[in-house]
Each structure stands twice: as C-alpha cells, then as structure tokens.
Copies of this chain bind each other. A is one copy, B any other.
Amino acid sequence: MDERSALGLLAGRIDAAGDDAAVIDGLVITTDMLHERTDFPEGTTRYTAGWRTVGASLSDVAAMGGAATAAVAAYGAPAFDPTEIEAFVDGASDVCELVDAAYVGGDLDSHDEFTVAGAVVGRTDDPVFRHGAEPGDAVYVTGTLGRTGAAIREFERGNADRGNELFRFEPRVAAGRRLAGVASAMMDSSDGLARSLHQLAAASDCGFDVEWDRLPVDRAVDAVADGEAERRELSTFFGEDFELVFTGPRAVVEANRESLDTPITRIGRVTKGGVLADGDPLPDRGYSH
C-alpha cells in the first residue's frame, strides 16, 4: 500500500484528517516526521534540519490560514552531540521566530537513523480547507517553485552551503492568515505543485487549467536544470517547497494582493474537471515521503 492510499485510509477514519492540519476547538495541530535517508541529503546541517522539520509543520498551519503558537520536536539520533543538538534547536527556534511562534522544547530518543518529528499548534477561528474551490476562481501560488529540487542538485554537486540556504524556507504563516476569508481553498505544495493541484481538485470536486509560462520558477532551478524538462521536473513535480497553493475569485484576491506582504502569482484557473497545463493533462505524480 502506498503512502497516498494509506493517508486516504487515515482520512476516512478520522474526521479531522485529510487536510494539511487538524482543526479542533479553535486549535490547529499537525506533525511531520523527517529522517536522514529521505529528507536530509549529505551536507544538510543540523541547523537546517531543525529549521526544516519545524518549518514543515508551520507550513501546514499556514495552509489552514492559522496563526502559529508553539512548536516542539522529537530528536532521534545515534549519539547526542551537544553541538548538533544546539544547532538543531537554533534552527527550529529561528524558523519559529520568523513566524511569531515559540519553539518550546521536545524529546530526545536514541535512534540508529537521524529521525526527527516536529509538531506545531496554532489557532484559527476561520480555517481554509482543501475543499471550496469553485469553477471560475483563479489559482495562485506564493513565492517561487523548485527551491528544494534545486537544493538537492546543489547537495549532489557538493555545494552544501548553497543547498542548505535553499533548504531553509520561510513558512507562509503571515500570508496564510491574511488569506483566511479570501481564499476559497488552500494547501501547501509539500507534495509538489502537480500533486497539490490534483489533491485540491479531488477535495473541491473541480479541475484546473494552469499555464506553464506563468509558473514562478525559482532562479535556483535555472542554475542547475539541464533543459526545460528538468526545469519542469524540479519546479512542478519535485515538491517539498512549502509554498501555498490557493484559489479564490480573481478580483477578491487581487484586492488583497498588497496586504499579503508575500509575492503571489496567478498561475491559471479553476475548471469543472481535469487537471491541465496549457490544455494537456498534468500528471498526478510528485513527492512520496
């Protein structure tokens, strides 16, 4: 059974599952597990790992339109090196500070493989879900696409400093909060833009038509991609970029553009069915963790 089917199983059994985070009693709560083999290429610093672990959960809260309150992390490693733990805590604390949340501690566990799990609690009175997109809405993304794919290439080439820099992303909590009441549907792009669109389409019972030329591909992708095919692969399918993908009436979103304090790009429109790019089917594939 693959991860998506299993997540579907979880979603079917738990009322609150199936969105980026659970919402209960005005609280938003989410967790993400990351580990060395699949999430932290050679050269990833513990500082970056702390940032990314907690950042992934902060991004989930952002995707619900919530404010982030506090984060914890469980840290499993073969040895408890004080310098590494301090660096991890520094990274986790710094990404929290960026979004007005507090990193408040965690758990340590002796583990053969470096494995970490972040959890974040936030608040919202007005959550945005994956369902709610309407044909006629426009579809947008925050920031740029492909930073993580480009980072992986930089790590592969031994450019660890650049890889770490690209790996540290700004969770879109401030933008997410401002989009509550504006966006009709929202999620983060952690599984890649293509898969995110398919997931929004399934949850909202709609389709999408996006334009390749409109996608805000990060310059870091151009620095590593060998041709247009790889450029699309890294920006659209690779995932783990933690940008927000959201829909809404174009006029309403545009009226709020300035107040978001975060660059957003209109990449296409919501349709009645089918996920297309320039009129051709956009495959439903992306990152599996």
A interface residue numbers (CB < 8 A to B) = 1-3, 5-7, 9-11, 13-18, 22, 24-25, 27, 29-35, 37-38, 69-70, 72-76, 79-82, 85-86, 89, 93, 102-113, 115, 117, 119, 121, 288-289
- A22 CB to closest chain B CB (Å) equals 4
Alpha-carbon gap, A93 to B82, bound state (A): 36
**Given known A24-B102, A111-B115, contact A1–B79 (CB-CB < 8 A):** yes
A14-B89, A33-B76 are known; give 10 further A-B pairs, CB within 8 A. A1-B81, A2-B80, A5-B82, A9-B82, A9-B86, A10-B85, A29-B72, A31-B74, A33-B75, A35-B115
CA distance A108 to B288 in the complex (A): 10
Q: How far is the CA of A37 from the CA of B85 in the complex (A)?
A: 22
With A9-B86, A17-B105, A72-B22 in contact, do A38 and B110 touch (Cβ < 8 Å)?
Answer: yes
A49 vs B179: C-alpha distance when bound (angstroms) = 39
**CA of A79 to CA of B24, assembled, Å:** 30
Chain B residue, CB-CB nearest to A88: B10
Q: Which of B16, B32, B117 contacts A104 (CB 8 A)?
A: B16
* Cross-chain contact of A72 among B5, B9, B18, B31 (Cβ < 8 A): B31
Q: Give the distance to chain B from A107, nearest Cβ to Cβ, in Å.
A: 5
CB distance from A31 to the nearest CB of B (A): 4
B119 touches A31 (CB 8 A): yes
The residue of chain B having its C-beta at the shortest distance from the C-beta of A106 within the complex is B31
Task: Kindly list chain B residues whose C-beta atoms are within 8 Å of the C-beta of A3.
Answer: 80, 108, 110
Residues of B within 8 A of A75 (CB): 33
Cβ–Cβ contact A72 & B102, under 8 A: no
A113–B37 Cα distance when bound, in Å, is 12
